[in-house]
């Protein structure tokens, strides 16, 4: 299973280039081509790259955007300084947290709603009367492609309840690129269950209130998730880091940012501190423990 998530986008500016006197700064950002938000849309990747490069040029800088197939390779390039900033999925981050903390700093992520943290719902059709995690057995489920967090959540629940990982008890897992499709799969009886974010659920219910009658929320996760974690090499110039967060704060004022925000459907960029990482760290540690136990 892919444990690569999230995405990123981002922008900004970093490092001033002393080598090339034509630019005030030069920096390289690394993104995962799969397992993140950007992995869902090829067009999005192209758009984000073009936008970031244009923004940097507007600020007399040069920004290189690179996409990596695996978190390991990306992190390796971050460590050795080929990449100044990298976006990693949470699974990889918590697995390698100790090493990562030694080489990186200035963590950030995207807020997908008003309260920074996301929450997942496990839903089923009301008419099917599926009300517990145990009912997942021999059922089909829809999950979002490249969203390791939702998979981790339902997998952990299965491990806790059924003492088995989710893949072993389910009849089929259907991955979809869009969360709305996941929900509709249950609505239109394509699958028995699906895991969607609270944001998607609320949006879909708002669009079609009859969903509340036809679908049932079987289980809700804690509200502790964010889509990925971005981090800077500790050796990266502090001015570049400061510039990144300043621009992040004023993101809505940058030309073209509105289209990128609408495309990736996030609200804002925020700094991730140790305290906000703590619940997720506990959560992931428990999950890693359960995985080991019921492997």
Partner 1 sequence: MNVNIFKNTIFGKVFILIFVSISLVLGLFAYQATIIQKDSILNSLEDKAKSMSDSITFVNTEAMIIDDEIKILEFVYDFVQENKDTLGIVVSRKNGNDLVIQNDKWEMLDKPEKNKSKIFIEKSEIIYSEVLKKDIFRYTYPIFFSEVSWGWLYLDLSLDEYYLKIDAMYKQFMYLALIMLITTLVVSFFIAKMISKPIVNLENISKDISNGDLSKRVNIETNDEIGQLAQSFNKMVNNLQHSQEKLQKSHEQLEERVNERTKQLKELNETLEVKVVEEISKQKEQEQILIQQSKLAAMGEMIGNIAHQWRQPLNALGLVMQNIQFSYEMGDLDDEFMEHSTKKVNLLTKTMSKTIDDFRSFFKPNKEKSSFDLGSNVYKSISLVESTLEHHDISLKCDELADIKVYGFENEFSQTVLNILSNAKDALIQNETPSAFVKINIEKDDKYGNVIVEDNAGGIPEDIIDKIFNPYFTTKEEGKGTGIGLYMSKIIIEQNMNGKLEVENLEHGAKFTIRIPLEGMRE
Nearer to partner 1, 97 or 190 (CB): 190
Contact 15, 29 (CB under 8 A): no
At closest approach, how far in Å is the CB of 40 from partner 1?
Answer: 14
Q: How far is Cα 200 from Cα 211, in angstroms, rounded to an integer? A: 12
Contacts of 293 (CB under 8 A, 6+ apart): 159
Structure tokens at 115: 């309260």
Nearer to partner 1, 97 or 177 (CB): 177
Structure tokens at 150: 């939702």
Q: How far is Cα 91 from Cα 112, in angstroms, rounded to an integer? A: 18
At closest approach, how far in Å is the CB of 174 from partner 1?
Answer: 11
Instruction: Tell whether the torsion through CA atoms of 33, 16, 244 and 106 is positive or negative.
Output: positive
DSSP assignment string, 93-161 = HHHTHHHHHHHEEEEEEEESSTTS-B-EEEEEEGGGT--SGGGGTT-EEEEETT-HHHHHHHHHHHHHH
At closest approach, how far in Å is the CB of 176 from partner 1?
Answer: 9
Nearer to partner 1, 140 or 180 (CB): 180
At closest approach, how far in Å is the CB of 164 from partner 1?
Answer: 29
Mark residue 145 as left, alpha or beta (left: phi above 0; alpha: psi -120 to 50; beta: remaining): beta
> For binding to partner 1 (CB under 8 A), which residues are involved?
178, 180-181, 184-185, 187-188, 190, 206-210
Nearer to partner 1, 3 or 190 (CB): 190
Nearer to partner 1, 178 or 220 (CB): 178
Nearer to partner 1, 13 or 183 (CB): 183
Nearer to partner 1, 72 or 188 (CB): 188
- The residue among 29, 32, 86 whose CA lies nearest residue 61 is 29
Q: How far is Cα 110 from Cα 269, in angstroms, rounded to an integer? A: 5
Which residue in this structure is represented by tokens 């997998």? 155
């Amino acid at each position: 299973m892919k444990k690569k998530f999230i995405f990123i986008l981002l922008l900004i500016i970093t490092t001033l280039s002393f080598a090339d006197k034509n630019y005030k700064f030069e920096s390289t950002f690394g993104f995962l081509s799969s397992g993140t938000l950007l992995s869902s849309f090829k067009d999005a990747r192209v758009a984000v790259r073009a936008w970031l490069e244009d923004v940097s040029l507007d600020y007399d800088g040069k920004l290189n955007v690179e996409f990596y197939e695996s978190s390991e390779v990306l992190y390796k390039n971050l460590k050795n300084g080929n990449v100044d900033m990298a976006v990693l999925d949470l699974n990889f981050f918590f697995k390698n947290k100790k090493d990562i903390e030694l080489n990186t700093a200035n963590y950030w992520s995207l807020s997908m709603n008003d309260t920074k943290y996301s929450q997942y719902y496990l839903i089923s059709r009301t008419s099917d009367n599926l009300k517990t995690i145990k009912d997942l057995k021999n059922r089909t489920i829809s999950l979002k492609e490249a969203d390791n967090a939702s998979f981790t959540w339902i997998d952990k629940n299965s491990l806790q309840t059924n003492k088995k990982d989710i893949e072993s008890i389910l009849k089929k897992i259907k991955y979809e690129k869009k969360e709305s499709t996941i929900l509709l799969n249950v609505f239109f009886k394509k699958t028995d269950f699906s895991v969607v974010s609270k944001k998607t659920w609320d949006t879909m219910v708002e669009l079609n209130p009859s969903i509340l009658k036809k679908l049932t929320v079987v289980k809700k996760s804690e509200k502790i998730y964010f889509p990925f974690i971005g981090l800077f090499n500790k050796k990266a110039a502090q001015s570049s880091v400061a510039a990144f967060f300043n621009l992040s704060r004023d993101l809505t004022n940058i030309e073209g940012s509105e289209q990128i925000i609408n495309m990736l459907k996030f609200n804002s960029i925020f700094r991730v501190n140790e305290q906000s990482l703590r619940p997720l760290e506990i959560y992931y540690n428990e999950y890693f423990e359960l995985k080991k136990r019921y492997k």
